[in-house]
Amino acid sequence: MSDPVRLARRVIELTGCSRAEAEQYIKGGWVSVDGQVVEDPAFRVTAETVVVDPAAQLAAAEPATILLHKPVGYDTISGRQPAATLVQPDSRWSEDASGVRLLQRHFNRLTPLVPLDAEASGLMVLTQDGRVWRRLSEDRDLIEQEYVVEVSGEIAPYGLARLRHGLEYGGRALPPCSVSWQNEIRLRFALKGVQGGQLRHMCAQVGLDVVAIRRIRIGKVSLAKMPVGMWRYLPVGDRF
């Protein structure tokens, strides 16, 4: 039996490419060992079958941004039950149309952004991309978020107008926002700078109890029809 060698060396032997190119092919998920994709150039091989995908490209893999439909009960930024644990290869939405190839490296060092209450569900963002991190951290209060809020009770007189402008939260007046009835039991909110617990407090001030909250949009990116607990990639080039 031959001595183990680095996978990158075996790729060089198979293709005649440079070491840098071999490592790029491997990191890009284009190389399989006995039928399993391996993304580590230092992985040791002996007599295994190593195959380089004929469609292999040398373009560097972009850092991933993942959009998750967070279920109720999971925490976004911190907590005992982090929603990030739901992001696994087998929970990718089958209708993901991003065109992004699934790589194991996409599940490393994902940073969750844009808080969402644990008792709420809906769109959550996790990223490896510093550009997305800066946008959703530094400009978060400037980006509109949209929610569907299921309520019970009887709204107070002029309650809808007060939801749109005239309420306060945390000791400060809230800026104007867009609020409308989606149907008899659901309100649609579009607002900026939303804080934890704010929507429940707003509804309580006009006599409504909140039954459920679901975030359906952050900036230009929407939840669409993605099922609860599933995720998809943000397509390369899309912006919040």
- The reported pLDDT for the residue numbered 133 is 96
Q: Which domain holds residue 101?
A: 65-141+221-233
Q: Which of 30-39, 66-75, 76-85, 91-100 has the lowest mean pLDDT?
A: 30-39
- The reported pLDDT for the residue numbered 29 is 84
Q: What is the C-alpha separation between 81 and 77, in angstroms, rounded? A: 10
Phi and psi based region of residue 224 (left: phi greater than 0; alpha: psi -120 to 50; beta: remaining): left
**pLDDT, the chain, mean:** 93
Note whether residue 182 is domain-resident: yes
Find residue 52's DSSP bridge partners: 31
Helix (H, G, I), strand (E, B) or coil at 5: strand
Model-level pTM greater than 0.95?
no
Count how many domains the chain has.
Answer: 3
Give the residue carrying structure tokens 């409308």. Answer: 180
137 plus 229 within the same structural domain: yes
Helix (H, G, I), strand (E, B) or coil at 140: helix
114 plus 173 within the same structural domain: no
- Which tokens in the block code for residue 105? 């490296």
Mean pLDDT across the stretch 164-168?
A: 94
Judged against a pLDDT cut of 80, whether residue 240 lies above it is answered with: yes
Contact status, residue 176 vs residue 165, Cβ threshold 8 Å: yes
Percent of the chain scoring above 70 in pLDDT: 100
192 plus 79 within the same structural domain: no
Q: What is the C-alpha separation between 174 and 192, in angstroms, rounded? A: 10
Give pLDDT tens digits for 4-57.
889 989 999 889 989 988 888 888 888 989 988 888 888 999 988 899 988 888
153 plus 207 within the same structural domain: yes
- The reported pLDDT for the residue numbered 237 is 87
Note whether residue 77 is domain-resident: yes
Note whether residue 58 is domain-resident: no
Q: What is the C-alpha separation between 153 and 239, in angstroms, rounded? A: 38
For residue 3, the one-letter residue type is D
- The reported pLDDT for the residue numbered 115 is 95
Find residue 168's DSSP bridge partners: 173
CATH of the domain at 21: 3.10.290.10
Nearest to 129 by CA among 105, 146, 94: 105
98 plus 203 within the same structural domain: no
Note whether residue 57 is domain-resident: no
CATH of the domain at 166: 3.30.70.1560
Helix (H) or strand (E) holding 37: strand 36-37
Contact status, residue 228 vs residue 215, Cβ threshold 8 Å: no
Note whether residue 95 is domain-resident: yes
Band (pLDDT 50/70/90 cuts) for residue 1 is low
The number of residues in the chain equals 240
- Please provide residue 84's backbone torsions phi and psi, each rounded to the nearest 5 degrees: -60, -25
- The reported pLDDT for the residue numbered 235 is 94
Give the residue carrying structure tokens 């939405």. Answer: 93
Q: What is the C-alpha separation between 152 and 3, in angstroms, rounded? A: 70
Percent of the chain scoring above 90 in pLDDT: 72
225 plus 214 within the same structural domain: no
Give pLDDT tens digits for 107-151.
999 999 999 999 999 999 999 999 999 999 999 999 999 999 999
